[in-house]
Amino acid sequence: MAAISAAALILVIGGGPFTRLVDRLADRTGMGETLAGIVLVGAVTSLPGLITSLVGAAHGDASFAMNNALGGIAAQTVFIALADMFYRRANLEHAAASLPNLLAPIGLSIMFGVVLVAGMGPQFSLLGIHPASLVLVACYLYWLWLSQKVRSKPMWQVEHTRYTQADEPDPASLDSDESLGGMWVKFAALACLVAVTGYVVGEAGLSLAERTGMSSGLVGALITSVVTSLPELVTVLYAIRIRALHLALGDIIGGNGFDMLFLSASDVAYREGSLYSAMDARVVLLIGLGIVLNLLVAAGLIRRQESGIGFEGIALLGFYAAGVAMLVSLG
């Protein structure tokens, strides 16, 4: 547990500087906060979870690898409700409403469906890799392309209210003398630091399961997944503090999409057949929970309650608590 705690501390400390850096990159490159949250923040803050799942898959523990990935998605989705509590000015889904943000939980639910079909359908693989792993990558890339397209050429518009915050560059970032190349170097350095913690958490998680007798799937679903999700929580809360609301929401939903690719990477690392053939009841439970949580987020973005955590936020917390209880009951 000491190794896991130390890794968690590093992830928490690095969250603030990393968020400020990406917010400036979003303005300087013109990609916008939502896409920066999905691609830059979402990918990098997901690295600990990716490495943790790869460590489990390389050790032949498919349950640990899959539960770590899917458990992280569930935990990160609930962070939206926590962020709603932190942002007192308005409901986060109302203030950060945009087409790319609405598209994300729908795309993620489709990816969940792909995983479920792969696990329940006939098991076959090519060079040890299930075709579903390639489909997940294709879905993710299509989602990124479509997010950019609907942002630049929307077919319908989000109605702006006094609480809506537009995804526009900060003039201070555009006028800064800071070198764009230097910013990318800092970004890469922080990404490497975050990735190293993932290896530590993965090895420590497997060791914890072995020493305590706990199921590795339970450790992955409720311990390592939460620890490796801490960067998302820190960056989201910090992004809200600096009023980068689209970056905050894009981080969570974009990070969740990247987390689905953990399964594709783990399928490559898992050399005992198809990763999906090892799907157990815990994995199926987390898939169902993930679909429910993400469609609740989509519902919140469509409904756009002006203030408070909203029914969807309360439902997120309730469903996640019920899911944790069911995971524990499975042993």
| Residue-wise pLDDT tens digits, 55-90 | 888 888 888 888 888 988 888 888 888 777 776 666
pLDDT value at position 97? 65
State pLDDT tens for residues 107-126: 889 999 999 999 888 887 77
Q: How many Å apart are CA 41 and CA 44, to the nearest integer?
A: 5
Q: Which residues pair with 126 in a beta bridge?
A: 129
Q: Name which residue leads in pLDDT, 231 or 12.
A: 231
Percentage of the chain exceeding pLDDT 70 = 65
Q: DSSP characters for 148-170?
A: HHHHHS-SS-PPP-TT-------
Nearest Cα to Cα of residue 42 among 321, 302, 307, 260: 260
Q: Name which residue leads in pLDDT, 112 or 53.
A: 112
pLDDT value at position 69? 87
Band of pLDDT at residue 127, cut at 50, 70 and 90:
confident
Band of pLDDT at residue 192, cut at 50, 70 and 90:
confident
Helices (H) then strands (E): counts for the chain:
16, 0
208 and 273 Cβ atoms separated by less than 8 Å = no
310: left (phi over 0), alpha (psi -120 to 50) or beta: left
Q: Would you call 54 exposed, middle or buried from its count of C-beta atoms within 10 A (0-12, 13-18, 19+)?
A: buried
Q: Can you read off the two tokens belonging to residue 318?
A: 């309730």
Average pLDDT over residues 211-238: 72
CATH code 3.40.50.10260 for 2-153+180-329:
no
Q: DSSP characters for 74-142?
A: HHHHHHHHHHHHH--SS-HHHHT--HHHHHHHHHHHHHHHHHHHHHHS----BTTB-HHHHHHHHHHHH
Q: Name which residue leads in pLDDT, 3 or 299.
A: 299
State pLDDT tens for residues 262-300: 889 899 888 888 889 888 888 999 999 999 998 988 888
Give the predicted TM-score (pTM) of the model. Answer: 0.76
